[in-house]
Chains A and B, each alone.
Chain A
Amino acid sequence: MKLSLGPLLYYWSREDTLAFYEQAAAWPVDIVYLGETVCSKRHLLRLPDWLELAEKLTAAGKEVVLASQTLIESESDLKALRKLITDGRFSVEANEWGAVRLLAEAKHPFVAGPTLNAYNPDTLAMLAEIGATRWVPPVEMPRQMIQQMLAALPEVTHLETELFGYGRLPLAFSARCFTARHYNLQKDDCQFRCLDHPDGLVLASREGEDFLAINGIQTQSAKVMSLAHRFDELTDAGIDVLRLSPQARNMQRVVDIFRALADGDIQPAQAPAQLDRFMPAAPCDGYWLGEAGMAFHPVTEGESA
């Protein structure tokens, strides 16, 4: 099982972002996704900065993938997308179908990101045919459906499967910025208030139940999706890569625990007790089980499959 560090979904200061990736170069992950996927207004790192980081991480032995913007609205968004692709040095994660068109045209291999909505083997096989070498299922896709997808693929199709396995789930994208809205600011004058919320801004029900997390135009789960306790179910399901989504604090500790799981140094049933204090919120695993995403079913020792 390979481990990847997913694209940074939040907006952190330039120093914090650079420091994070400087440290990540030494973490035991195989793949690092770089780039801004959420909001085109976030500019503290620009493409040349990401490319410089990409070179450094490659030199440190990581496979680097540049992730594309999920919501393309303007011509300048497209311009940024074209630049990302024409650089050509690194693989690209396509997060909408405009990127797929450009990557297929350039015959540039790519990762099919989770928001491409590949829900059936026909669509997935087509993606592979036009250049996808890896896919990330929609984050809501249950284990059983992933298995059915892979079983139904034509034999000639070779694709790695990467699962979103740890972090606040990216659930929705909007034209509207909910962080700006919270501060009664317009999106065009947002004052980059998402800088103040390095793990998102929690939205609770009126009876105090943490429900979602606001991250600019993105809405996330308040709970942290974690499959640490189900790590031994992943290989059987055909998962090749497990994606860990960056968080502001203790990311190295999280990576270390998943590495220990991958190397068999700790058992899945032991993982939650170790992971718990490094998580920004309570865990959930419902999507994996085909239930409401926010559900959580702990596995007790001896019970795991």
Chain B
Amino acid sequence: MSNPPLLELICPAGSLPALKAAVDNGADGVYLGLKDNTNARNFSGLNFDEKSLAEGIRYAQAKRRKVLMALNTYPQPATLSRWHKAVDTAATLGVDAIILADPGLMAYARKTHPELRLHLSVQGSATSYEAVNFYRERFGIQRAVLPRVLSLAQVENVIANTDAEIELFGFGGLCVMVEGRCLLSSYACGDSPNTFGACSPGHAVRWEQTPKGMETRLNGVLIDRYADNEKAGYPTLCKGRFEVQGETYYALEEPTSLNSMDMLPEMARLGIAAIKIEGRQRSPAYVAQVTQVWRAAIDAVKKDRTTFKSQPAWQATLAKVSEGSMNTLGAYYRPWK
């Protein structure tokens, strides 16, 4: 039996050029989705059709890299066959694994394509080993991606009590809510990540220059207003400024990015199977830069985790491409909570 994977670098591919950028810059695997609501980055202009998917798989697998396909939204009764067909497509074209959130869909995949490797998506909201083991026992999932809500000590406890591989988010946009447990977007505009595959979707977004400043709205609700010297951000609704008891501030979360690079030695010690980079909605140039930096960092930590130090040049590159140009260790570092 081969050794269990350690710190595989899994990078986002929102398009074929992004996939190639990830592979060329050292990703061990890429993750991607189809051009519809079967995955949680359902934004126009992104993702793959069957032809580009087949080409992406050829490109990656020729270089012995993996292709993981996200089918991580929740199938709904009227359109269930769309998800089933997507699973069939993934199996036929030969992806290395599919990433699922819904137990019903896992049962379908298990029954129809028993050889297909299953990963539990972060959208499955499994935060304990009891939950991870539910999916492992019933559907044979081989890997679970944990929501960005656990501290590393809590992650360690999950690992100690399951034989599923554990994948963690390393870098990129940060959901402050438990993934799969957030309906803020559908409350405001009718579409949620669970069913529609997007949070704060473009069709509900309005940008408007007003005498008070640039205003961003989601289905009419004012999410933020920017002074002339401020850079206006996308109105992801948990990252807006709101008023609570007369005080206006980022009431839920600042527009920051997760960056857990400083915790790589600890992640190596815990035996984390893979590190996921967020950002299928970002450009191929972003993917290239971030992949390169994380490749170097993971190689360094694998060589000697006791002497690992993240390089200022790496951090400078990451800071440049970060959303909001600010970084946080998120929940891995307990005081953030």
Contacts and interface: CB of A to CB of B under 8 A. Distances in A.
Q: Is the pairing of A and B real?
A: yes
Interface of A: 70-75, 77-78, 81, 96-102, 115, 117, 119-126, 138-140, 145, 148-149, 151-152, 169, 171-178, 181-182, 186-188, 201-209, 211-212, 214, 219, 221, 286-287, 290-294
A176 B337 contact: yes
9 contacts: A71-B127, A75-B157, A119-B102, A122-B103, A148-B78, A202-B244, A204-B243, A211-B242, A294-B187
A60 to B, nearest CB: 33
Contacts of A73: 127-128, 149-150, 154
A186 B333 CA distance: 12
B228 to A, nearest CB: 16
B331 interface: yes
B263 interface: no
B221 A126 contact: no
B130 A291 contact: no
B195 interface: yes
**Main SS of chain A's interface residues?**
mixed
Nearest to B223: A205
A98 B181 contact: no
Contacts of A121: 77, 80, 104
Contacts of B189: 292
B74 A120 contact: yes
Nearest to B251: A203
Interface residues of B, number: 68
Interface of B: 74-78, 80, 101-105, 107-108, 124-131, 133-135, 137, 148-150, 154, 157, 176-178, 180-184, 186-190, 192, 194-195, 219, 221-225, 238, 241-245, 247-248, 251-253, 331, 334-337
A172 B183 contact: yes
Contacts of A187: 337
Contacts of A125: 104
Given A98-B134, A140-B192, A206-B248, A287 B181 contact: no
A209 B248 CA distance: 13
A258 B154 CA distance: 43
Contact of A101 (B76, B125, B134, B150): B134
Contact of A119 (B127, B186, B194): B194
Contacts of A211: 188, 221, 242
A140 B186 contact: yes
Contacts of B331: 175-176
Contacts of A290: 190
Contacts of B127: 71-73, 96
Contacts of B105: 120, 122
Contacts of A75: 157
Contacts of B74: 117, 119-120
Contacts of A205: 221-223, 242-243
B177 to A, nearest CB: 4
Contacts of A99: 130
B134 A176 contact: no
A101 B130 contact: yes
B130 A120 contact: no
A115 B108 contact: no
